[in-house]
Amino acid sequence: MLASTLMMFALAIVVALRDDRAFMESGPGVIVRERGDELVLEWLFPIMPPMTSHFERAFEEKGARAERIVIDLNSPGGLVDEGAALIDLIEEMKRTHEVETRVGRNRVCASMCVPVYLAGDVRTASPSARFMFHEPTAYDVVTDETIDRPEFERRMDTERFFRRFIDPTGVSPDFARELRESVRGRDVWFTAQELVDRDVNVVDALERS
C-alpha cells in the first residue's frame, strides 16, 4: 500500500513537472532583436510567468554578442513576484552589460511594470508614454477577484512595496512621499513628459521622434 502510494506520488510529481515545462514553453513570448551591439527584448504583455524565463533564455543565448541590453516595455502590470524575479535578472544583466529600459510612443507602463522600468541603468521614454502608479492589490487565488482589505493593511503593503521597489531606485524622495498618499484607493497616471517636467528622476531622457 505504501509503495503504491509513493509510486502515485512520484507519478504526480512527474506529471506536474511535465506540465510546468509545457507551460513555460507556452504563453506570451519576448520579442528578441539584435541591433548592432544591442540586444533588444520587447515585452507587450502583463508581468506574469513565463516572462522572466523567456528573458533569461534570450539573455543566455544572445547576451554574449551584445554590449547593451534594451528592455522595451508595454505592459499593464501584473504579479509582484514575477516582477521581482525579473528585477533580479536585470541586476544580473547589469553586472556585464549596460541595461536601458524603455517605454515607446503611446505605450503604457503600469503597476508592476514601473519597478521593472526603474531597474534600468538608463531609463528612456517617448514623451507620450504613460506611467501608472497604484497600491498593491490582493486577489483571491480561486475567484481572481480583488480582496477588500482594511485600510491599515493596504497602507502597510504600500509602504513595503515602496521601500522595496521605489525608494532604492533614485526616484525623488519628495515624489515618492507624494505617491504614497496619492495612490490610496486610486490609480495615478503621468506621461513621461510630465515626469521629466517635474524632475522626479523616473525617466532619465525623452526620445525625440
Q: Are 49 and 23 in contact (CB under 8 A)?
A: yes
C-alpha 84/C-alpha 73 separation (Å) is 16
The answer on pLDDT for 6 being more than 50 is no
Q: For residue 131, which of 82, 174, 81, 175 has the smallest C-alpha distance?
A: 175
Reported as a single tens digit per residue, the pLDDT across 113-137 is 999 999 999 999 999 999 999 998 6
Residue 121 CB coordination number (10 Å): 15
State the pTM of this model: 0.83
Domains present along the chain, CATH in parentheses: 25-135+185-206 (3.90.226.10)
CB crowding 30-42: b at 16 or more within 10 Å, else e: bebeeeeeebbbe
| pLDDT confidence of residue 33 | 97
Residue 101 forms beta bridges with which residues? 71, 123
